[in-house]
Amino acid sequence: MKEYQKESNIIIAINTLRKIIEIFSGPFLTTYFIKTSSESMLDISIYNMFSYIILAITSFMVGYIMKNKLKMAMFRIGVITNFIYILLIIILKEKVVQYLGVLAVLYGLSSSLYFMPFNLFLGNKIKNEDRTRYEVKKEVISSVINIVIPIILGSIITVTNYILTAVIILIISFMQIIFSFILKPLEEPGGKFNMREMLETVKKNKDIKRMMLVEYLTGLSVNNSALATLATILIYNAFTTDFNLGMITSISYILQLIVLYVYGKRYRKKSDKHIIIGTCFIPFITLMMFLMYPNNVTIVIYNLCYTIFVSLLGTIRTIRLYNISNSGMIDRTNQEEFWSVREVCLNLGRTTGYMILFFVGITANTSLLNIMMIIFTMFILVLGASLSKIDKNKYEIKTQIGGM
């Protein structure tokens, strides 16, 4: 039990450090592109399109390599590659937009090398019956960090510059490398990488099929999506400084922390289907409010509601995803294939979103941009409808723990 607790705490620590890095490489990198590029929306779209195409393609290769060996090695290489990615931003400085292709390749490669093994660790080192408690604990800790970090990063960037902030993130990335050498490897089950068999499993099982649709829609509208990037751009353009971006981001995380705490207390074992439906409708309602009455207040309301309730939706989705990944249908004999398919679905959604954003950016048509935001937000409703059909407690009795 002590070893189990230690492993789960290390996973939470690694995830928390990754969250800090993602705040930097997400909203603050987006605003850096805005500052250094005259065609920021096009550059952001190109960078993200290529990043997620690389991530989807390399996920298959990483899954194949990890099938019988090198799981921990792949994970450590992913963490080190992320370190190199941040180091390159520091070296390039204002020339960063001239090397978007190189940055996109590094980000996509480091993400596939990191998340493919990390998903296996998370699926097998955390018991299914502990999944909701673990996810809420992880997200609460991340939210506390995220309350403080955006203000700190925004303040440092505003007072000094973006590059000095990148140096601090580089140190955090180095800490993540150290933690990766503490985490114990998983046991190797053996077998061949069989994608055809996994595709047949996806086709036959309704829950897995729904889950893959949910992952595609998540990439399109929720997790590191074009819609999330547009929300960041709206806030930055409305309030013009990184400090204000950091303040609003931190406030949203405080409210998110409260919502997650309530969910963890009340819905650890109870059905949460009605929560999913309500969570999906709120971002849509606040978006329509902003489009009908565009001002700074409605921008902030929309951004807060999108961040808070999409995050809750992400936690609910993650619980179901990892429970399925460690169930009777998916186990240590075919998890690499499962996560490879999942990464393709997720990143295909992200690529689709940024391709649409790219073409809208070329037209420079505000009306098209508004229509795109409405359509993407409506996809969240479809996501919620699909997610609500998967019982979150269905797989908890079929726990398999590896590497303990």
Q: Is the pLDDT of residue 397 over 50?
A: no
Which residues fall within 8 angstroms of residue 199, CB to CB, at 6 or more apart?
341
Nearest by Cα to 376 from 273, 306, 305, 272: 306
Kindly provide the b/e burial profile for residues 290-306, where b requires at least 16 CB atoms within 10 angstroms of the residue's own CB: beeeeeeebbbbbbbbb
Please answer whether residues 202 and 209 qualify as being in contact, where contact means their C-beta atoms are separated by less than 8 angstroms.
yes
Q: Is the pLDDT of residue 379 over 90?
A: yes
44-70 pLDDT, tens per residue? 888 889 889 999 889 888 888 887 677
Q: State the pLDDT confidence band at 90, using cuts at 50, 70 and 90.
A: confident
- The label of the residue with tokens 């409210």 reads 255
Mean pLDDT of 359-368: 81
Nearest by Cα to 120 from 57, 187, 58: 187
pLDDT of residue 259: 83
To 10 degrees, the CA torsion angle through 76, 82, 87, 92?
Answer: 150
pLDDT of residue 243: 58
pLDDT of residue 401: 37
Higher pLDDT, 56 or 248: 56
pLDDT of residue 143: 72
* 137/395 Cα distance (integer angstroms): 20
pLDDT of residue 144: 78
Please answer whether residues 327 and 338 qualify as being in contact, where contact means their C-beta atoms are separated by less than 8 angstroms.
no
CATH of range 2-387; options 3.30.70.270, 1.20.1250.20, 2.40.160.10, 3.40.50.2300: 1.20.1250.20
pLDDT of residue 400: 40
Domain ranges of the chain: 2-387
Q: What is the pTM of this model?
A: 0.80
Q: Is the pLDDT of residue 241 over 60?
A: no
Q: What is the mean pLDDT of the chain?
A: 81
30-40 pLDDT, tens per residue? 767 766 665 66
